[in-house]
Amino acid sequence: MKLGVVRESGMAQRNFNRRQFVRLGAMVAASMAFGMTACSSVQESVGSASSVAGNTSSEVARSEGQSEASASTAQEAVASRTLVVCWSQTGNTRPLAEYVADITGADFYEIEAVEPYLPEDLNYDDPSTRATVEQQQTLDVRPAIAGELPNMDNYDTVFIAHPIWWGKAPRIVLTFLESVDLSGKTVVEFVTSGSSGIEGAEGETHAAAPNANWLEGKRFDAGTSRETMEEWVQSLGLAGPKLVQGQETTESKVLLISSGDIRLEATLEDNVATAELVALLQEGSIEVSLHEYGGFEMIGGLPQSLPTADEQMSTSTGDIVLYQGKQISFFYASNSWSYTRLGHIDGYDSAALLEALGGPHDSTVELSLKE
C-alpha cells in the first residue's frame, strides 16, 4: 500500500528538541518583550537510562496505508482524513497542535526548515536577525521546507498551527501553503503569540491558499489546556469519530504482550502514540527484543517511530511508555523521566512482572491487539 507522508526524521527531531531546550533561555527574554510567559513542555531527553539503545522519533503520525489498514469503521476513515500541520520553534504551539491531532484523530505533520532556525535567528531584539529580517524586510522570501510534503489528496480537513512572528505568519508557513493544493479543503488556522491576534496573519495565509474553505481561526496563549483546545475544536462542528460519534478510541483497545507461554494484557492510553501503535498492530503483530536496564525497565526498539506526547513522570510497576519515539519500555520498578504513556499492566508485582517479561535476561515479546 502506498504510504502518504511517512517522513523518518529522527535525527532532525532529536536536534530539534535540543535546539528548543537551548532556545528557552533566549525566548524567556524575547517573550517578555511581547508580554508573555515563555512556556514549553520540551525537555532535554538525553541521559535517560533508556538512552543506552540510542534512538529516533518520528514527526509524522499516520500514513495513508496505515490509516486504510486501521479503518475498520467508517468513522475511523473520516478521522484519518484530517491533518494537523505545525510550525513551532520554541515549543509553545506544538503541544496545542498535538492536542488537536489527538482530539481529532488526525495525522500530524511538522514543518522543518532546510536551514534550521537557530536561537540567534529568533532574537527579535536584534533587527538584523534572520526571522526579523524575513518578517519585516524580505517579505517575499520563502524558506525551503525539508523532506516530503504531505499528500493532500489524503485529507479533507487541515489545521495549520504556527506562532505569530512580527504580527504575521512565519514565512515558512507561507512556503507550505503555497506548495500544497488546499483547494476545496476545510482549513483552520490557529496560532500562539505573546499578545498579538491572528488577524495580522490571516490576510497572507488565506491569500496563499485562496481556494481553501477557511474557517474562522483562533489565537491561543502558550500553555493552553487540552480541555480548552477540545472545546474549541468541538465548536468548529467538524465531523470525526472522536468529535461527533465519539465511540472508537484507543481507550477500548487492549494490548497483548506474549512472552513465551505467558500472555500479559495492558490497557492502552488514548493519545497520539497509542493511536499510531494501534494502527500499526492492526496490520499485524510485532516482535520487540527487550533488554533490562537500570533495575527498573525492560526496553526495546519498535519497528517504526511513533508520535510523542512526552511528559515528566515517575513510572510505577506495570507502566508501559514510549521513550524518544521509538523505544517501548515496560517498567517493573520506578524511574522519573520524560516519556509518553502507552498503557499499563495490572496485577503484577515487580519481581513477577520482570520474570513474565523474560527478564532480567534479554528476551523477545510479541505485541498484538486483543480481539
Ligand X SMILES: Cc1cc2nc3c(=O)[nH]c(=O)nc-3n(C[C@H](O)[C@H](O)[C@H](O)COP(=O)(O)O)c2cc1C
Please identify which residue in 4, 91, 143, 318 interacts with ligand X, judged by CB under 6 A. Answer: 91
Nearer to ligand X, 120 or 287 (CB): 120
Q: Which range in 158-166, 209-217, 256-264, 311-319 contacts ligand X by CB under 6 A? A: 158-166
Nearer to ligand X, 36 or 83 (CB): 36
Alpha helices of the chain — where are they, by DSSP H? Answer: 10-33, 64-70, 74-79, 93-104, 130-136, 171-179, 199-208, 226-236, 272-282, 350-356
The CA-to-CA distance between both ends of the chain, in Å, stands at 24
Write the DSSP symbol of residue 168. Answer: B
Q: Strand pairing partners for 357? A: none
21 part of the interface to ligand X, by CB under 6 A: no
277 part of the interface to ligand X, by CB under 6 A: no
Closest CA to 217 of 157, 152, 160: 160
Nearer to ligand X, 35 or 184 (CB): 35
Residue whose C-alpha cell reads 468541538 in the numeric block: 234
88 part of the interface to ligand X, by CB under 6 A: yes
DSSP states along 84-103: EEE--SSSSHHHHHHHHHHH
174 part of the interface to ligand X, by CB under 6 A: no
Nearer to ligand X, 70 or 88 (CB): 88
Closest CA to 60 of 1, 7, 3, 103: 7
Please identify which residue in 56, 63, 92, 363 interacts with ligand X, judged by CB under 6 A. Answer: 92
Residue whose C-alpha cell reads 496563499 in the numeric block: 208
What CA–CA distance (Å, rounded) separates 336 from 47?
Answer: 12
Prior bond of 360 cis (ω within 30°): yes
At closest approach, how far in Å is the CB of 7 from ligand X? 20
177 part of the interface to ligand X, by CB under 6 A: no
Contact predicate 299/289, CB 8 Å? no
At closest approach, how far in Å is the CB of 192 from ligand X? 3
Please identify which residue in 57, 82, 93, 317 interacts with ligand X, judged by CB under 6 A. Answer: 93
For the segment 209-268, give every residue that binds ligand X (CB under 6 A).
222
Nearer to ligand X, 198 or 257 (CB): 198
At closest approach, how far in Å is the CB of 339 from ligand X? 22
For the segment 334-353, give every residue that binds ligand X (CB under 6 A).
none
Helix (H, G, I), strand (E, B) or coil at 244: helix
Nearer to ligand X, 50 or 90 (CB): 90
For the segment 108-147, give every residue that binds ligand X (CB under 6 A).
122, 124, 131-132
Contact footprint for ligand X (CB under 6 A)? 30-31, 34, 36, 88-94, 122, 124, 131-132, 163-167, 192-196, 222
